[in-house]
Structures are given as structure tokens and as C-alpha cells.
Structure 1
Amino acid sequence: MRLNEQLSSLRKIINYRVFNSIILIILALILFGIFYQNIRPQTYDIELFSIANKTIRSPKTIIDEEKTSEEKKKAAAQVSKVYTFQTDQVQNRVSLMNSIFDFVEEAKSEDAKSANKEQSKKDNLTAEDKLLKLKENLTENVSEDVTKSISDDSFQTLLAASDDQLDHTRSVVLNNVQAVLNKKIRNNQVDAAKTTVVNQIQQSNLSKSLKLAAQELAEYAIVPNYIYDEKLTKEHRKQAMKAVEPFKILQGQVIVQEGHIIDRDIYRQLKLLGLLKTNSSIKPYIGLAIFVILIISLLAFYAAHARISQEEKQNRLVMVSLILLCSLALMKLVGAMNHLDIPGIEYAFPAAMAPMLIKILLNDRVSYLLAIIIAACASLEFHDEIADTMNVEMVLYTLLSGASGIIFLSNKNQRTGIFKTGAFIAIVNILTLCFLILIVNGQFTNREFVYYLIFAVVSGLLSSVLTMGLLPFFEASFGILSAMRLIELSNPNHPLLKKILTDAPGTYHHSLMVANLAEAACEAIGANGLLARVGSYYHDIGKTKRPQFFIENQMSIKNPHDRLNPDVSRDIIIEHTTDGADMLRKYKLPKEFVDIAEQHHGTTLLKFFYKKAKELDEHVKEEDYRYPGPKPQTREIAVINIADSVEAAVRSMNHPTPEEIKNIVHNIAQDRLLDGQLNECDITLKELEVVKKTFCETLNGIFHSRIQYPN
């Protein structure tokens, strides 16, 4: 029993949704089990300060946040404090000294005015009044508390000085203060700056008392002008920290060499990478589950939206799942050979096998979907012996290999074409490997390069060989009528075709003509032209049982129907559809051919014998003279239905003109339409017009006018 027949038996027990769900769940569990080992994090039982018994490499690239933070702190610490030179401070301090001298002069001038009015006051009282007045003015008009910082002796010395002496003292103080403040002075340099200004004033030609006063004023004027800028310093340190590149532990990087001590830093890195048994993570398993769900979802979406019957959807889902599992089994087999230490052995994986099988058995859309799924799976399987990593190069190699198999595989799908496709795949594999090697500037020995090229060729050829080997199994198991199978069945040496040719040559010629018409029309409306052609070869196989009762085989004999009752003739004619179906089943030909044999006349009326019977008995029922059907269920059978009658009608005419052919085609097609023969197939009125036009063009080419040659 074929696999699709067993599935049909299961469908009687389980409904469509449950059946599909079971298939997808089983496939999901198998996929998870296949790649579980590949993504399982490799952990080690290691203690701090123990000796490593093997070299451990990083399975992934990860940022070491702790190390990065340390490096940022170091970079920030290396940034010196930022100081700003406050130029306005020079002018402020000089202005302050000027103000002090101005208030001294003001106090002296007011004292002079009051002296003219009150001649009786004593000089010592006048000096005290002047000092009090000066200090009062300074307190009220100067923001700084100058009176507490500068001694009364200095103020009294300035008040007692003459105008010339005061001006000279002002000049000495201002010049020296400005000269010192024009230089950068930090907090820790203030004392040195004050010493400098005192020494410079000491060298002036002022009197001793004025020097002391000037020195005290100058010392007070000297303040830090090169100030620490905390905000700017923080900004510079932030920039320095931003400039630090994140410290990364790279995939494949050696964490510890065999025989070395596991120190604290190494132990921390192992813990960060999840390589210690004490801190294993479930994240890889969650990731694999998401990956499997994504694959299953894509297959479920295809199964749900394919415009085919529910039964066919289930058959296709099972077939695609089996082909995917076959490809993954080969992938695991090749992956298991990695321990042989043969360079590039993973490139021998026949990545194009599954996409090619699906293209032959189904269509391009599903084959591209499977190519993508297999490429994604290859990234997990071929991970360079580092657990829970991805091999992006293998993804690209597998995807291009699978896609090239789909592209180069001809729609005719002859067996020789599959082998040619294998050669093309090998070339694409070689070019892909050269690209991958050169783009990363890889360093490979000549021996490794030769191995890579050999395995690239093996992948292409193995894909074609396995496709050829597995194709008959899937065709037979699922009853798939592939283009290759159709081409094989079109071989004239097939026993049934030879039987038609020898027993019913007229029917054989008629079948060839119908095949030409049906193929051209089906291709014009987007139906399966090859199926229509090859199916037409066999559609009248039932006539070989009684070939002489069909007019195309009555070459030099009288029509036997002239001697028979209409009901007998009716039975003989009608039985050629059921006889043909039985013969096709006996020879185990595809179900599509059986359907064509049974449905190519639908339930049409045998008008000639019905009218003949009507003449003998008016009470004859029309339905007794109709074919049993069923009516055409597909566009291909509908086209064959019309082509069968059109070819017979046109062939019966002598030198038909294009106009006569057009009328015959139109009338027959219209008769089928009005008789309801096309009600159960999905052919549209627009497509029917295209079919009629194609029939006319083909028949005009066959029955064109010929030149009359003289005898």
C-alpha cells in the first residue's frame, strides 16, 4: 500500500486539523532533538586556582562589562585636573587697589576742607577722624571687608603721605600687582606670588613706611587666578571614558591554556561566558525553541494557504517533512565526520538535494522555502566545534547551493538534466568557496584549498545522484505525477502506447492530434500542458478493446454499427471510457490518467445513436444515451474534452477553411458550456475564449492549404 493511501486511512480516523497538528508537533520535536546537542552550552567543572586540564576557548563574542568599567576608570584617572585662567580677576584686583587709593585721596580732601573751617582742632584728632572716615567709606562701598585685612597703620601711612607720594605708591602697587597677576597662579602658588610682589616693591624707591603699606596692599591684592574647573574636568573625563572601546571576549579566543592556573580574572571570564556548571543558562534552549517554532510556522502557513484540496495539503506536508528530515540526516552524517580532521568536509553536504526534489515533485515556491530552512539549520550543525555558535559562511554556501539547484533544474526534468544541474551546482559551490576564502583574506594551504574544491564538486554531484535515487520513492509513495514521470510515460515504447499503435492506429493518430491541441491550449491558460499532452495519449486506450467499432479505425471495412441496435452501439461506445480506466489501473498508471479516461467525455450525449433510437422509439430517455461521467474536474480534462470533439469534427471535413474551423470550435465549446459539462472545473469564460483561439491557430496550422502538384 502506498504511503498516501495509508495517510488516507488515517484521515478517516483523524480530522484534518488534528492530523496536521500531529505531523507538525512530531516534526518540531525531531528538529529540537536533532539540534539539541549543537546548541547545548559546553560547561566545565572548574574550581578557582585549579589547573586547567584542557584549553578553553570562548564560544561567543561578549562584552566584559567589569573589565570595560575598569578601563574607563583608568582613562578617567589619567585625565589631569582642568584649570581656567580668569583674566577678569587681574582687572578686578587692580580696580580694587585703585578704589582703595581713591578712597584714601577722598578722605584726605575732605579733611582739608574741614581743616579750613575749624582751625582749633588738633592734628592727632584729625588723623583719627581721617582713618575712621576712610574705613567707613571702604566698608560701605567695597564688597570685600578690606578694613579687616589691611592694618590701620598702613591706612594711616597712606593718609599721612603727600599727594605725590600717594600717587607714586599707587603706581608701584598697581604695576607690580598687575605684573604678578598676569601670570597663572594656582591656590598652592599664592604665597610664592605674594613673596614675588613684596620683593619687587621692596626694590622700589618708596619710603620705608610706604613700602610696608604698599607691600600689605599688594599681598592682599594677590589671589589665585588659575582656578580648578570642576565642570570642565568632569566633561573631559567623560569624553575619555567614552573613548574607551568596550573590552570584548572574542569568539574562539583562548580563555585559558591547558596546564595554566585558573586565576580570579580567568574564573570571572569563564563565569561571564556561562562555561561553569554552576551557572549554566537556559537561553540557548529558548532560542532553539523559537527557531523550531519559526520553521514549523512557515510550513504550517504553506499548508494552510496552498490552493489545493485538504487531502493534497496533508500529503504535501508529510512529503516536505520527510524530505527535510532526509536532508537533515545527511547534514548530521557529514557533521559527524568533522572528527576526521579533513579540511572542509562540511562542504560535501548535498545542500541542493532537498530543494531539487521539492521543485520536481511540487513547485519552486516550496523549494525556495526549504532551501532557506536547510541553510538556517546548517548554521547550527556546522559550528566549528564551538557549542551554541552560528556558522554564517555555511549559511551562505548552503543557500547559494540550494538556490542554484532550483534555478538550473529545467522544467522538463529529464534525468540527464538533473546530472547537468549537479555539474552547475558544483561550479556555483566552487565560486562561492573562492568568494568566502578571498573576502576574509583567509590563509589556507594548497592542500586545504584542494580539499575544499573537491568537496564542493562532491556536494553538487551527490545532490543530483541522491535526487535521482530518492525521486522514484517519493513519486511512488505519494502518487506524485512529476514532469519527469510524464516524460517517461510519453515514450512510444510504453506497452499501452504500443497497443494503441498496433491495435487501433486511427485512434493513435487521433490521440496525437488531441495531444497537440490540448497541450497548446493548456499552456496558453497556465494549466499543465505536459499533463494534458501525455494524458491525451492514453485517453482513448479503452478503444483498443473493440477498435473496429470506432470510425477512425474503420479503414477498409463497413461500419459495424449499421447492423446493430442503437442501444448496443451505445453501450460499446460508452464502455471505452470505463474500459480505458480499468486498463490504466491494471497497468498502475497515475490517477490523473484514469481521471482523464473517465472524464474526457463527461456526461455528453451520444447524439447520433440517440436520434437513431428516437426514430425507433419515441419514449427513449436522453439520459440513457449519455456517458456516465463524471464531468471534467480539472481545466486540463475540460480542454481535452473539447479538443477530442473538435479534432474529430475537423478531421471529418474535406479541406476545412479557417472560417469553418472557427465555427466548429465555437459551436462545440458553446455546446459543452450550455450542456453544463464545464460546471465542475475551475476554467473561466476568459480562459475558454483563449482555448478556442488556440485551437483555431493550431488547426489552421495543421489543415493549411497545400499546392496542387500536376500528375
Structure 2
Amino acid sequence: MFKSKRLLFKMRQLHQSKLVGGILYVLLGTVIFLALVGNVRPDELDVKLLSIAKKSIHSPVTIEDKVTTERRKREAAQTVEDQYTYRSEYKQNRSEIISSIFEAVKEVQDEDRLKEKLEQQPPAALPVQLDKLKEKLPADVLKSLSNEVLQQLLKASPDQLLVAKESTLTAVNNRMSTHIKIHEVNRAREQIADELRYANVNSGLKTAIIEIGQYAIVPNYVFDPAATEERRKVEMDAVEPAYILQGQILVKQGDTITREVYDQLKLVGLLDNGHAFQPFLGLMLLVGVLLFFLVRQFVIFFKNHREDKPYVMAYVLIVTVTIIVMKTLSLFQNVELTSIGYVMPVAMGTLLIKLMIGDRFVVPTSILFSVCGSIMFNEGITSTFNYAVGLYMLISSLSVSAFLTDKYRRSPILRAGLLVSLVNVLTVGAILLLRSGHTSWTEVGLHLLMAAASGIISSILTMGLLPYLEGGLGIVSTMRLTELASPNHPLLRKILLEAPGTYHHSIMVANLSEAACEAIGANGLLARVGAYYHDIGKTVRPQFFIENQMGQLNPHDQLTPEMSRDIILAHVTDGVKLLKEHRIPQEIVKIAAQHHGTTLLKYFYYKASKQDKEAYTEEMFRYPGPKADFKESAVVGIADSVEAAVRSMDAPTPEQIEQLVEGIIADRLQDGQFNECELTFKELQIVRKALCEALNGIFHSRITYPTLSKEKVK
């Protein structure tokens, strides 16, 4: 135990270096990284195509299976039928062609009749008319219609030709008004032939118009490639992407690793060794982000606190211990007992940090523990993070701020642990209820028992570790200061019994110091406790100090100035020795050692100078120091001098008190007693004002009551 304390003390001596502070941050990041690296390292799979899976393999991530998605899109496109478009203009076109045929026939007949009438010549022979007709008809029509059809048209009378034309146009319009696909053309032509058989024309002409009608029938419901492609695109876009879900079983133990399975393993990164560094890089970035916010918190924190205190070392040590406990506990988890993270006393870390450093770091530390816990306790979880455990640890850590409100006694730590246990139980209960699926009562009871134990163990460990951390690091917690301020402490009882005047003086200095320190934002409780013990050395020879003489003869009247000097100066070193023997925190020891600094023992110096001015110098009658190197120590020194000076005055007025306080502060300032501490001129003025107000309250004027004469009662 003592070896560990000496080691902590040596480490504490190094904390003031900025370089060491940076090293501590790097050390903390390294500890966190090494604790988590094993939980983010990707599994090494030794699988080959068409081999047998030695174990069931789950997907570590959720990722789109693009190969499957494309296959499903192709299948959806193949189900789309060809798209057709009805071309209404085809009906008009075919009707115009039929009309042009009959018009050409009529023109040939009319020309022949006109020539017969004017030239009195016999009608032209049918072959001649046929030739004229062919000249008027397009090649496509001539190619599709036989000469016999054209001859039948030429032989028809005008009335028959008109009936044939109208019948053909009507039949063609009727058929072409319906959707006719390319494979339905023959059926449509048969239908138009059946319809034209009832035309009121002679048989020869009827045969001709049937052939013309069948010629006019063409497909009008044609394949539309653009519409077909558009429809296929719509169907492909409607296909939902195929995903490989996190935790999905890609292959079961004993199954063959097919090409499809092999491609899926490669897709999720289980076979891609080239990207194995990515989890480590991600972990480094995550740790870096967490450290960045912690460093920023310390930068803000040190604006109002002493940088020479080993707060960073304390923080790193507490977090490291918590992480080590967390990592050790995580080694016992298995698939059947993934809930072991609930028993982790994570609140221990935030309890210690709140007590030793302050509330500012509870939230960022809770987040840090939550992230670390969710990664460490991920056994049986396909994700890198176990969000249930992470949420549980976050709430458990944060609950410390709500329940540990009294930092002045140790008993509230146990009470806070019990309340944290209650919150843990409620949190785990909520997590179990939010889960889908049935949980056995045995498992529920085990989870709740672990959660309850976590808070209690946290408070017990906190009370056990706190004294060692305070002693080793020299950071005095509020709780420790409160214990030292108890009148039942052996040293305070020693002052009270052996040097009651010094005890009263110390109480007065404590009141003044606390008020002044709180006015400038320093630690008022530390100043108060330091003032209680600052003159403990006077208990060695209490009768040599005027406040303890109680009207007795002053022994210094019988001593030489050198002997008186040695006795008075010795109370500082004697006090430091006593405090160290009783293992009083270093902060209190420093206040006792520094409260006089290197000031001059003026009374005995002047007394010695009267005897032989040449033989004595100021350096011979100065306190050995050291000078005050922090605000609380400097304020206690001022309050000590002020209280003693004001007490020696007879009915001091506020103006006299103010002049006295200002003179003492100015004297110490000119003597260089504040050169090694961070007190500013502005703060010295605030201290002066606070001391004057406190002293005026103590030494206020009182009414002199008249003495009543006693009269005999008759």
C-alpha cells in the first residue's frame, strides 16, 4: 500500500509539465484504443468456394446486394409484355387508297364514254382500258391486285361501281376500326370477305371487291418499342433493393459455400483482407473525437482552477481503472450471458470524478464509458455496438449527478449507490420490455439482480478508492475537507485543549479566509480548513504566543531576541511536522508552511536592533518560507495578519479597519510575498473589501448600557 502511495506521489510531481499533460492524454487514448481494439478486429474467415462452412456466418453489416437487385430487375423486365399502339391513321390511309382505285376506274370509264360520244367511235377494248387504268394506279396497288380484279371494275356499270365502292369502304372502315395485330390480319381479312359477300353487286364484281377489301386490311395495332421499354423501366424501378441485413445468416454450419454465398461473403467484407485496417482507423478516429472533447473541457476547467493540481492525472487514472475493470469483466461474457455488462460498476468512475474533480466531467465521462461499454460487451451481437448496454451505462453514469448532491460526508455515497441501483433496475426493465420476443423470468431476474448489484458495488468501490486517490494525488475532495473541519479531529482538539487562544484565533482567520476566497472564486472550504490548522505548531510551546498567555507573564521578556525569534519561527516547521505525521493532505500542509511566507518578524527585529543595530539584519528575522504559491494560501496569510492586528486594537472603527487591512496587503505586496501565486491586483482589492466587511461585522460598535443604581425595596 505504501509503495503504491509513493509511486503515486512521484507521478504527482510530474503533472505540472505541459508535455506530461499531453503525454497523459495520449496515454488515456492508448488505453482506450487497446481496450477496444480486440472487439472491433474483423473475424478471419478461412473459406473457399464450394467448401463446407465450419460454423454459421452472420453478416456484420447491412449492405445492398446489388447482384440480387439487378437479377430481380431483369426478371421484372422479362415479365413485361410487348406494348402495342393503335394507329388510327392507317384506316384513313387504306380508305383513301380504295377510293383512289375506284376514282381511277371511273376516270377511265368516263374518258372512254366521252371519246365515244364526241368522236363517234366504238368503246375502247378492255385491254386498252386496263392499260390506262394501270397508268393511274400506284405500283403497290398493281402488285397486290390482279388484272382480273381491275377488269371486273372496268366492266362494272356506274351504279354497280358506286355500290361496290361504298360497300368496300364500309367494310374496310369497320375492320380497320378494330385493333388488328400482325398475327390477326388473316382473320380480319376473312371477316371482311364474309361481310362483302352480302354486297348487292354481281358475282364477278363481288369477287373483285373482296380482293380489294382484303388488300386494304393491314395491321393497325403495332408493336411500340418505346412504350415497351418505358414499361419495362417502370417495372424495374418498382423493384425494391435487395439487402443483406446485419446479423443475417449467410451460411449455416455444414452447408456448402456456393458461388452466391461466396459473393455475399465478399460483399460484406468478410473476405476482403485489403480493407481489414478500416475498423482500426475508425476506432482511432472515435477515440480522437472523445479525447478532443475531454481536452476542451479541461481547457475551460483550468480557467477557474489551479493548473498545478494533478486533475488530468487523476482523471486519467480513474478512467483507466474503470476501463480495466470493464475490460476484465467483458472477458467473461459469452453468447449465453451477454447481459454480464449490466453488473459493471460504471458509476464508480463518475462518482470518483465528481468527488475529486467536479461536475463538469460527469457528462463527457458518461458518454466515454457508454461508448466503451457498448463496444466491449458486444459478444453475441452482430453489430460493433451493443446499444442496450451502451444506453444502460450512459444512464447509470449520468444518474450520479442527480443523486450525489451532498459531497461533504461519506454516507451520501452509499445512498447515491442505492439510488443508482434503482435507476439501473428501471433501465434494464425498460430495455427488456422494449425487446421483441419472449424473455424467461429467470433471465429477467438475473438481469435485474446484476443491475442492482452494479450501483451498490460502485458506491463501495468509490468509498474504498477515494482515500488512496486523495492521498496519492494530493487532491483534497470536499468530503475530505469536511472531515478535517470536524472539531472532533485529534489535531483540532489538541489546539483547543492546549492552545485555546490559538484555537479562537484560527476560527476567526478561517471565517475571514473563507469569505475572501469565495469573493474571488477560490476554494473557500479549503481556505477555512487550512486556517484551522495553520498555527498547529503553536501547540508545541503555546505559552510563548500572546493569545495563549491569558494575562500571565510574557516569557519573551526573559529571553534574548534570537531565542524569541527561534521559538516564533519554529511554530511553522513544527506545524508542518505535526501535519505530516497525521497524514494531513498536502494542501493543508502547504498553507501552514506558507501562511507567513518570508515576512519579517518585526517586533523582535526592532528589539534586537535597539540592542545592536550592526549585528542584526532583516534576513536573520524573516520566516523561512516558502512564499504562498496558490490563492487560498495567500488569502489565509493575509487574514492571519489582519485578524491579529485588528484584535490588538481597542474599539477599532471601520475607517481604522480599512486602513489597517489596506496597509497589511500593501506591505505584503511590496515585500514580494505574492510573487509566486496567481493573485491579481483586482482580486487583492476584492479580498480587501471582503475582509473589511467581515471584520466590521465582528468588531461592530456596541451600545454602552448605563448601570442601574440599586435601591432598597421597602
TM-score (normalised: structure 1): 0.84
Q: Does residue 74 in structure 1 map to residue 69 in structure 2?
A: no
The partner residue of 1:345 within 319, 340, 346 is 340
The partner residue of 1:214 within 209, 214, 217 is 209
Distance 2:579 2:216 in 1: 121
Inter-CA distance 573–235: structure 2 relative to 1 (3 Å threshold): farther
Q: State the 1:242 CA deviation.
A: 3.1
Distance 2:699 2:660 in 1: 14
Q: Does residue 507 in structure 1 map to residue 507 in structure 2?
A: no
The AA in structure 1 aligned to 2:447 is Y
Instruction: Give the match for residue 287 of structure 2.
Output: 295
The Cα offsets for residues 356-390 of structure 1, whole Å up to 9 and x where unpaired, read as 22222323344433332222222222224256732
Q: State the 1:85 CA deviation.
A: 3.1
Instruction: Give the match for residue 3 of structure 1.
Output: 7
Instruction: Give the match for residue 142 of structure 1.
Output: none
Instruction: Give the match for residue 286 of structure 1.
Output: 278
Instruction: Give the match for residue 388 of structure 2.
Output: 393
Distance 1:456 1:108 in 2: 112
Q: Is the CA contact 1:58–1:250 (under 8 Å) kept in the aligned structure 2?
A: yes
Q: Is the CA contact 1:39–1:284 (under 8 Å) kept in the aligned structure 2?
A: no
Q: Does residue 131 in structure 1 map to residue 133 in structure 2?
A: yes
Distance 1:280 1:187 in 2: 55
The Cα offsets for residues 462-516 of structure 1, whole Å up to 9 and x where unpaired, read as 1111122222232233233222222232233333222222222222122222222
The AA in structure 2 aligned to 1:551 is I
The AA in structure 1 aligned to 2:636 is I
Inter-CA distance 578–201: structure 2 relative to 1 (3 Å threshold): same
The partner residue of 2:476 within 459, 481, 496 is 481
Q: How does 1:111-510 map to 2 (within 5 A)?
A: 123-124=124-125, 127-128=129-130, 130-135=132-137, 145-151=140-146, 153-155=148-150, 157-158=152-153, 161-257=156-252, 265-266=260-261, 269=264, 272-273=267-268, 279=271, 281=273, 283=275, 285-292=277-284, 294-295=286-287, 298-299=290-291, 302=294, 306=299, 318-339=313-334, 341=336, 344-386=339-381, 389-410=384-405, 412=407, 414-510=409-505
Distance 2:284 2:375 in 1: 12
Q: State the 1:522 CA deviation.
A: 2.2
Distance 1:118 1:642 in 2: 153
Instruction: Give the match for residue 647 of structure 1.
Output: 643
The AA in structure 1 aligned to 2:628 is P
Distance 2:269 2:639 in 1: 72
The Cα offsets for residues 290-336 of structure 1, whole Å up to 9 and x where unpaired, read as 31454267447756964769x97895555444433432332234334
The AA in structure 2 aligned to 1:446 is W
Instruction: Give the match for residue 712 of structure 2.
Output: none
2:178 is paired with a residue whose SS is coil
The AA in structure 1 aligned to 2:637 is N
Q: State the 1:647 CA deviation.
A: 2.7
The AA in structure 2 aligned to 1:207 is N
Instruction: Give the match for residue 711 of structure 2.
Output: none
Inter-CA distance 10–604: structure 2 relative to 1 (3 Å threshold): closer
Q: State the 1:459 CA deviation.
A: 0.9
Q: Does residue 588 in structure 1 map to residue 583 in structure 2?
A: yes
Distance 1:497 1:206 in 2: 142
Distance 1:505 1:456 in 2: 52
Inter-CA distance 455–77: structure 2 relative to 1 (3 Å threshold): same
Q: State the 1:353 CA deviation.
A: 1.5
Distance 1:325 1:272 in 2: 38
1:177 is paired with a residue whose SS is helix
The Cα offsets for residues 122-145 of structure 1, whole Å up to 9 and x where unpaired, read as 62386256425522xx57xxxxx5
Distance 2:15 2:696 in 1: 49
2:222 is paired with a residue whose SS is strand
Distance 1:383 1:290 in 2: 17
1:633 is paired with a residue whose SS is coil
Q: Is the CA contact 2:322–2:348 (under 8 Å) kept in the aligned structure 1?
A: yes
Inter-CA distance 75–615: structure 2 relative to 1 (3 Å threshold): same
The AA in structure 1 aligned to 2:587 is E
Distance 2:194 2:227 in 1: 35
Distance 1:64 1:216 in 2: 60
Distance 1:561 1:114 in 2: 172
The AA in structure 2 aligned to 1:640 is V
Q: Is the CA contact 2:105–2:154 (under 8 Å) kept in the aligned structure 1?
A: yes
The AA in structure 1 aligned to 2:214 is E
Q: Which of 106-115 and 354-363 deviates more?
A: 106-115
Alignment: residue pair count: 698
Distance 1:131 1:214 in 2: 16
TM-score (normalised: structure 2): 0.84
2:273 is paired with a residue whose SS is coil
The AA in structure 2 aligned to 1:295 is V
The AA in structure 2 aligned to 1:651 is R
Distance 2:241 2:308 in 1: 52
1:244 is paired with a residue whose SS is coil
Distance 2:261 2:484 in 1: 69
Structure 2 residues without counterparts, runs of 5 or longer: 709-714
Inter-CA distance 597–184: structure 2 relative to 1 (3 Å threshold): same
Inter-CA distance 298–335: structure 2 relative to 1 (3 Å threshold): closer
Q: Which of 349-358 and 482-491 deviates more?
A: 482-491
Q: Is the CA contact 1:24–1:300 (under 8 Å) kept in the aligned structure 2?
A: no
Distance 1:703 1:100 in 2: 136
Inter-CA distance 624–217: structure 2 relative to 1 (3 Å threshold): farther
Distance 1:220 1:314 in 2: 108
Distance 1:161 1:113 in 2: 17
Instruction: Give the match for residue 690 of structure 2.
Output: 694
The Cα offsets for residues 433-476 of structure 1, whole Å up to 9 and x where unpaired, read as 23322334442222222222111111111111112222223223
Distance 2:472 2:694 in 1: 38
Distance 1:116 1:696 in 2: 149
Instruction: Give the share of equivalent positions with the same residue, in percent.
Output: 45
Q: Is the CA contact 2:561–2:607 (under 8 Å) kept in the aligned structure 1?
A: yes
Inter-CA distance 550–274: structure 2 relative to 1 (3 Å threshold): same
Inter-CA distance 214–438: structure 2 relative to 1 (3 Å threshold): farther
Q: Is the CA contact 1:49–1:262 (under 8 Å) kept in the aligned structure 2?
A: yes
Distance 1:156 1:525 in 2: 127
Q: State the 1:683 CA deviation.
A: 2.9
The AA in structure 2 aligned to 1:545 is V
The AA in structure 2 aligned to 1:127 is Q
The Cα offsets for residues 593-614 of structure 1, whole Å up to 9 and x where unpaired, read as 2321232233444555556566
Inter-CA distance 435–376: structure 2 relative to 1 (3 Å threshold): same
The Cα offsets for residues 188-242 of structure 1, whole Å up to 9 and x where unpaired, read as 2222222222322222223334434433443343333333333333333333333
The AA in structure 2 aligned to 1:67 is T
The Cα offsets for residues 63-114 of structure 1, whole Å up to 9 and x where unpaired, read as 4333333333222222333333334444444455445555665666676777
Distance 1:378 1:507 in 2: 54
Distance 1:108 1:611 in 2: 161
Q: Is the CA contact 2:130–2:150 (under 8 Å) kept in the aligned structure 1?
A: no
